[in-house]
Structure 1
């Protein structure tokens, strides 16, 4: 997943989806070059986008035991925008 602020995204997915951070590696310019979180049985990889790349939407599916509860938890955390 490409992000303009992966540090903020990592914090959000931890709160919204109870994600467990597996790794976070930085580039020389302090941008996030690679990060991974575990959400349930799924691994989600993310990194900071570079200005030269166009905006790229991303879609992914997570299978969770209680989708309604996870949805409400995510809503309670607000938005990244």
Structure 2
């Protein structure tokens, strides 16, 4: 079964640096959107697309783009009247512990420490200073991702009588108590 739709651009039909779907984060907090861009540059080796840097009449950054690997994260300063909306972002990395250490050095908090995860991957989660939550997946030799498995629903289900796993408990706790960063 094909997952492509004729109205969605893919592969070479896309502009350089963009995927079919690109995340957009409306951030508020330390240094605003410009601070978020610097964090992504320092932690993930991102590079801002300067041609997209657009300041609104009120002085807030209404649009910026930062390239990470082969993806683009779009972002803006959240307007004061906008509801807090956390960015929920996932990144594949070569060494999850190294990225966690770098992120912590730039103000992130560990939500889930590097942990063995499905398919031989390792998972960690971070809360950035703008209260976005990052899922980091270490993928490499011997790992498999869901996209590499059979195209069918898994048969496995959690035991409803067992305590939640550390992987679930940590993200549930973070998401339950998540709110906007302090000014």
Length-normalised TM-score, structure 2: 0.41
Match of 1:3?
27
CA distance in 1, matches of 2:96, 2:68: 13
Task: Say which SS state the counterpart of residue 62 (structure 1) adopts.
Answer: strand
2:60 is the alignment partner of 1:36 = no
Which of the pair has the greater relative contact order for Cα pairs under 8 Å at 6+ separation? 1
Match of 2:40?
13
CA distance in 1, matches of 2:47, 2:64: 11
Which whole-Å deviations, capped at 9, do the CAs of 1:32-75 have from their partners, x for residues lacking one?
11111011122111001111111112201111222222222111
| Larger-Rg structure | 2
Q: Which runs of 5+ in 2 are unaligned?
A: 1-24, 109-128, 130-180
CA distance in 1, matches of 2:70, 2:46: 10
Q: Which runs of 5+ in 1 are unaligned?
A: none
Match of 2:56?
27
Pairs aligned (count): 81
Length-normalised TM-score, structure 1: 0.84
